[in-house]
Amino acid sequence: MSESGSTIDQWAESEYKYGFVTDIEADAVPAGLNEDVIRVISAKKGEPEFMLEWRLKAYRHWLTMTEPTWANVKYPAIDYQQIVYYSAPKQNKDAPKSLDEVDPELLRTYEKLGIPLEERAKLAGVAVDAVFDSVSVATTFREKLAELDIIFCPFSEAVKEHPELVRKYLGSVVPTGDNFFSALNSAVFTDGSFVYIPKGVKCPMELSTYFRINAASTGQFERTLIIADEGADVSYLEGCTAPMRDENQLHAAVVELVALDDASIKYSTVQNWYPGDKEGKGGIYNFVTKRGKCQGRNSHISWTQVETGSSITWKYPGCILLGDNSVGEFYSVAMANNYQQADTGTKMIHIGKNTRSTIISKGISAGHGQNTYRGGVRINSGATDARNFTQCDSMLIGDQCGAHTFPYIEVKNKTAQMEHEATTSKIGEDQLFYMMQRGISMEDAVSMIVNGFCKEVFRELPMEFAVEAQKLLEVSLEGSVG
Amino acid sequence: MAHVKEDKNTYLAHFDRFEQGGAASDWFLPARKTAMARFTELGFPTTKDEDWRYTNVAPIAKIAFERADRSAIDGVTAAQIARLAMADAVGGLLVFINGHFARDLSIIDSLSAGLHAGSLAAAVESGDAVVKEHLGKHTDSVTQAFAALNTAIVEDGAVIRVESGKKIERPIHVLYLSTSTASPFVSHPRNLIVVGECSEVTVIENYVGLDGAKYFANAVTEIVVGDGAIVDHYNVQREADEAFHIGTRHVRLGRDSCATSHTLSMGGKLVRNNVGALLAGEGAECTLNGLYTIDGEQHVDNHLRVDHAVPHCDSREFYKGILEGRSHGVFCGRIMVREDAQKTDAKQTNMSLLLSEEAQVDSKPQLEIFADDVKCTHGATIGQVDEDALFYLQSRGISAEAARSLLIYAFAKESVSKIKVDALREQLDALLLARLPQGASFRESA
């Protein structure tokens, strides 16, 4: 493999393309966390009383918890008193009604990222609720969605305008005390997205949010809640990039999905936060709790994720299959290059009868990257005729990286059908040789093989996302192959 | 927690008798002391320990077992042993009653040239050089509480040594028989198998409990496979219904060696098998084969760990389980491929057949890989008897019950057929068929 050493070096040198800091004045509270900070956040968001109480309850619970250490990741201890828990771009008190009112600096940032808001909105028919740090700045296609009574708005707005829905569903999938990071999020989350699809409505367009972390040492605590009422259907996209910075940043988001009878939710993520430099310095800590509840009969929740960024990714989007005949799916591509660490997977909990789940996980490790699949499939005693299929494949590129698989399978019903398969391999030299002798360059050959390896997952992504994901993977892989 | 602490005291009391020293076996005393200190520190594992997540050993910790004494040997007749001995098929027999070596019941007078088999206690006493070199060196008494406990208060076991370049044709049979006693007892069988370069040997470790016996067997076996040697090891466990069995086996494979470890679990109330393999020499090949069939309230936990420390090694894990009643099966297999262990080829398969409403299976097939030029796969399936196959057989005029039995038998047969010792395979085959309704009817064709 020595002849390819130079290619490895070249690729390893490719830098994070999206690293820059936008110079917008931030309106932030001092670093640290106590009940007063939570009160300030709640007051700044103009929240009703019940939200403040909910936050304080979560905070008090959080104080009693200890940070979990079971994940296969290593990072220096986080000082939770050094984090700034609230930061919003300073601008008009009233949220902008249209793109014209949005800070031009902000729009330029998105342009640099290659996300022309207005163009994308028009051409792709995507309604974008862009979150810049913690406050939503622009929402498009609101009217069109409003015609169908679809609610798609920043979380803080939903708290004020639809308190009954928020009250009913917030924390119903991920309770405040679920885990250390979700408790922290519940206490201090600043904004996020809220989606409600009413009965029998099929959302006519892909809903999309671009998250972006800005302002030094601001932890980002997003809260997303998506509810698909009976017979509703929605596809939601989440994509992320973040500016280059030395300090590690904590991101502890919580995403809750609720699918009622016959409803269907598809949640797709492309995550490309700053992974740290070649020595593993800096980068985002992505400790996210994502969970969907198939509450109704015949409901369907599908998670698709492409994780290429973050210095540490630690997340397990899961499904609670409560309703009879409900279906949970998880498709994932996780990539760890340089000193990145990823401990990701899913949890499928079969409770209802005839519930089915599919898990397809593709892990790619390169450089000094460590990639772990950790997944749980539990079939409870009442889940008659439950079915699970799991496939997790790992690809190793370079001899310094690691790929680990930790599945947990618990079956308490004899009618269950459970299959788990995992393979680990490297890119075959014969495959590379074959392609190169056809005149395909080493880099192209590798990217073709990797894309083929991930195809099963990319196929699940909405069209424009699939293209972006493919590109991201190419960029992230640069310099790692030999 | 009080009872657990009290129970540690039980074992501390058992340890006392070694502490005075003054015996010829004093060379082993420091190892005992270190291990006892570790056990005291670790205590019994709880379900909060990741490795014991699905197996609760509180029932073992709760009982203040007595140290087994030698008197039980007198109560066992030669006829009883003959029934279990497979005497025609084996080249040597070591019998232990409640953990104590029964010289008179054993057959070790006419062993093949190059083969040495005997009691561990005697070997420790005489300061045998091979025992000194290997005893306690291959098992983890630092993090494994039960292995530490065994090291601390082991009394006896089998030592089997094969000189270099010898092919031992007939298997060696080590029989551990536990009898019914007035009060529950504990034994800590300890076996050491050292196989020289380019030798070949088959060892059967057989654990049998008599009806009504209540005891805890905490066994540890260390197997050292020399360069180019071939070892076939069988652990057959048919403990009594009320027995607890914790078995720890560790195999160290030298260059170009080949070792197979079979774990066949049928009996016991709470059973845990810790099987570890260290591929320490290039070109080594290791196979871990397992089968358990459990019913009622039985609990069997198979914990495997294959450590690929060097390049160019192959490993295969193949474990199957058949569960009925309210039984609970656990599988945890871990393949570890170290940084330099390129060209590793590792495969792990775990299949479980759930036959009743209340049976439960937990499976954790794990891979940990730090090298890139490797081929590693694992697969786990959990399911029931295939409806289509059942229908097919019935459509050929086979009754539903017989068809079901046939399919279960076929499922187990894949594991059983890997047993190379004919007498043992036939014995297990018969046991399996006896468990199945109408099993006897297709005995002939099997």
For the stretch B54-96, pLDDT in tens is: 999 999 998 889 988 888 888 888 898 998 888 888 999 999 9
Work out the angle at residue A208's Cα, subtended by the Cα atoms of residues A202 and A213, and round it to the nearest 5 degrees. 155
**Rounded Cα gap, residues B247 and B252, in angstroms:** 17
- Asked, for residue B382, whether it belongs to a domain, the answer is no
- Asked, for residue B232, whether it belongs to a domain, the answer is yes
A414 closest CB neighbour out of B359, B365, B375: B359
Of the candidates A392, A386, A393, the one whose C-alpha atom is nearest the C-alpha of residue A418 is A386
- Asked, for residue B201, whether it belongs to a domain, the answer is yes
Percent of chain B at pLDDT > 70 equals 96
- Asked, for residue B344, whether it belongs to a domain, the answer is no
Q: Are B351 and B381 in contact (CB under 8 A)?
A: yes
Identify whether residues B253 and B398 lie together within a single domain: no
Contact list, A426 vs chain B (CB under 8 Å): 372-374
A408 closest CB neighbour out of B360, B364, B370: B364
Q: Which amino acid is at A414?
A: K
Interchain contact, B372 vs A419, CB within 8 Å: no
Q: Are B210 and B178 in contact (CB under 8 A)?
A: yes
Q: Are B15 and B153 in contact (CB under 8 A)?
A: yes
Mean pLDDT of B390-411: 92
Secondary element (H or E) of residue A291:
strand A284-294
Interchain contact, B367 vs A417, CB within 8 Å: no
The residue segments making up the domain with residue B53 are 2-281
For residue B17, CA distances in Å to A362, B204, B428 come to: 57, 31, 40
Residue B281: partners with Cβ closer than 8 Å, 6 or more residues away: B227, B253, B254, B255, B256, B257, B310
> Which two tokens mark A273?
């936060």
* Model pLDDT, residue B167: 94
**Rounded Cα gap, residues B337 and A373, in angstroms:** 16
Q: What's the pLDDT band for B36 if we cut at 50, 70, 90?
A: very high
* Model pLDDT, residue A214: 43
Burial of B251 (0-12, 13-18, 19+ CB in 10 A): buried
* Model pLDDT, residue B2: 39
Q: Are B368 and A402 in contact (CB under 8 A)?
A: yes
Domain-ending residue, one of B257, B281, B305: B281
Residue with the two structure tokens 């990539």? A335
Q: Are A306 and A475 in contact (CB under 8 A)?
A: no
What residues of B are in the A interface, CB distance below 8 Å?
A: 50, 54, 339, 342, 352, 354-384
Closest approach of B362 to chain A, Cα-based (Å): 4
Interchain contact, B379 vs A422, CB within 8 Å: yes
Q: Which of residues 366-395 of A touch B (CB under 8 A)?
A: 381, 394
Identify whether residues B149 and B30 lie together within a single domain: yes
Contact list, A423 vs chain B (CB under 8 Å): 375-377
Length of chain A counted residue by residue = 482
Q: Which residue of chain B comes nearest to A481, CA vs CA?
A: B372
Of the candidates B271, B260, B210, B195, the one whose C-alpha atom is nearest the C-alpha of residue B233 is B260
Identify whether residues B266 and B409 lie together within a single domain: no
| ipTM score assigned to the predicted complex | 0.75
Q: Are B374 and B342 in contact (CB under 8 A)?
A: yes
Q: Which residue of chain A comes nearest to B373, CA vs CA?
A: A426
Of the candidates A401, A406, A320, the one whose C-alpha atom is nearest the C-alpha of residue A361 is A406
Contact list, A341 vs chain B (CB under 8 Å): none
Beta-bridge partners for B187: B217
Identify whether residues B247 and B392 lie together within a single domain: no
Domain-ending residue, one of B225, B257, B281: B281
Residue B211 pLDDT > 70, yes or no?
yes
- Asked, for residue B365, whether it belongs to a domain, the answer is no
Identify whether residues B163 and B19 lie together within a single domain: yes
B275-287: pLDDT as tens digits: 999 999 999 999 9
For residue B358, CA distances in Å to A66, A179, A377, B325, B362 come to: 35, 30, 18, 6, 13
Secondary element (H or E) of residue B236:
strand B230-238
Structurally, chain B folds into a number of domains equal to: 2
- Asked, for residue B364, whether it belongs to a domain, the answer is no
**Mutation target among A391, A405, A430, A431 for the B interface, most CBs of B within 10 A:** A405
Phi first, then psi: what are they for B287, rounded to 5°? -125, 125
Burial of B387 (0-12, 13-18, 19+ CB in 10 A): exposed
**Rounded Cα gap, residues A173 and A186, in angstroms:** 12
Residue B190 pLDDT > 90, yes or no?
yes
pLDDT tens for chain A, 482 residues long, are: 333 444 444 444 455 555 555 555 556 677 788 888 888 888 888 888 888 999 999 999 999 988 888 888 888 888 888 777 776 655 444 444 555 555 565 555 555 555 545 444 433 334 455 554 444 444 556 667 888 888 888 888 888 889 999 999 998 999 888 889 899 889 888 778 889 999 999 988 788 765 444 444 345 788 889 999 999 999 988 875 544 454 557 888 899 999 999 999 999 888 877 777 777 777 788 888 999 999 999 999 999 988 887 888 888 999 999 999 999 999 999 988 888 888 999 999 999 999 999 999 999 888 888 899 999 999 998 999 999 999 988 888 877 888 888 899 999 988 888 888 888 888 777 888 899 999 998 888 888 888 888 888 888 887 767 777 777 777 667 665 54
Interchain contact, B354 vs A409, CB within 8 Å: no
Q: Are A257 and A226 in contact (CB under 8 A)?
A: yes
Look up the pTM and report it: 0.81
Virtual torsion, Cα A155, A157, A159, A161, nearest 10 deg: -140
B372 closest CB neighbour out of A401, A407, A417: A401
Domain-ending residue, one of B259, B281, B303: B281
- Asked, for residue B380, whether it belongs to a domain, the answer is no
**Rounded Cα gap, residues A316 and A330, in angstroms:** 10
**Rounded Cα gap, residues B330 and A347, in angstroms:** 19
Secondary element (H or E) of residue B322:
strand B314-323
Identify whether residues B275 and B392 lie together within a single domain: no
Identify whether residues B277 and B401 lie together within a single domain: no
Residue with the two structure tokens 């019994």? B44
Q: Are A380 and A350 in contact (CB under 8 A)?
A: yes
**Rounded Cα gap, residues B353 and B382, in angstroms:** 6
Identify whether residues B147 and B269 lie together within a single domain: yes
* Model pLDDT, residue B152: 92
Q: Which amino acid is at B61?
A: A
Identify whether residues B92 and B241 lie together within a single domain: yes
**Rounded Cα gap, residues A149 and A227, in angstroms:** 13
- Asked, for residue B248, whether it belongs to a domain, the answer is yes
